[in-house]
Chain A
Amino acid sequence: SQQGEEDPQALSIQEGENATMNCSYKTSINNLQWYRQNSGRGLVHLILIRSNEREKHSGRLRVTLDTSKKSSSLLITASRAADTASYFCATAQGDSNYQLIWGAGTKLIIKP
């Protein structure tokens, strides 16, 4: 069962532009996490945001969380070719703050 659903499924932008990906979920969460997966590789943890937080930053990444709308967004500013990857959101819900349910991901392509 998928908890998070990313939108859009695919995104293609020019290098230097900002990229925004969205994640919606269905039930209340303890935390929401974003991961990156380069083609053929394992996933890499980017940011974790707790249910009582509204925004977090890490370098060129900005994550927001709106629990009233059950949604989160990941903003990558000043995109680079190396940002080309799939991005996944995952949510921890119920009694667990570590067991994750995953969305299907957004495929991001940065054109040089």
Chain B
Amino acid sequence: NAGVTQTPKFQVLKTGQSMTLQCAQDMNHEYMSWYRQDPGMGLRLIHYSVGAGITDQGEVPNGYNVSRSTTEDFPLRLLSAAPSQTSVYFCASSPLGQGAPRGYTFGSGTRLTVV
């Protein structure tokens, strides 16, 4: 039981480059989300999804796109990387059905540096 898997763990990008951060979960959770974590701050929500085909913006969505074609996968795309996007990115999932809420399961994070 892998839980939430994020790849890559580390990435260095040049300003203007694009890339996709991968997130996959094997728990059949309806809810998936992307956060960024910056020093001294709490997690800030980028985008989230409550099921396949449904996505919505969070607190800091600019510069990022998401899609949810399957229940399992929720990739985060950086369109044109900027130094301000240097951060640690976390993917999290949660069930929404019976027995919810039950707390989030987090991936181990992707540390992104934009130079």
Contact = CB atoms under 8 A, between A and B. Distances in A.
Asked whether A and B interact, the reply is yes
Contacts of A102: 35, 42-44
Given A2-B42, A105-B42, A98 B31 contact: yes
Contact of B90 (A31, A42, A92): A42
Interface residues of A, number: 26
B59 A1 contact: yes
Contacts of A88: 42-43
A22 B40 CA distance: 17
A11 interface: no
Interface in A89-109: 90, 92, 97-105
Nearest to A98: B101
A41 B42 contact: no
A33 B101 CA distance: 10
B45 to A, nearest CB: 8
B104 A104 contact: no
Contact of A99 (B48, B105, B108): B48
B54 to A, nearest CB: 14
Which of A30, A42, A105 has the largest count of B CB atoms less than 10 A from its CB?
A: A42
Interface string A39-70: 01111110010000000000000000000000
Given A41-B108, A45-B104, 9 more contacts: A42-B4, A43-B43, A43-B92, A88-B42, A88-B43, A92-B101, A99-B45, A101-B42, A103-B42
15 contacts: A2-B42, A33-B104, A35-B106, A41-B108, A42-B109, A43-B104, A45-B104, A48-B102, A48-B103, A98-B100, A98-B101, A99-B45, A102-B35, A104-B42, A105-B42
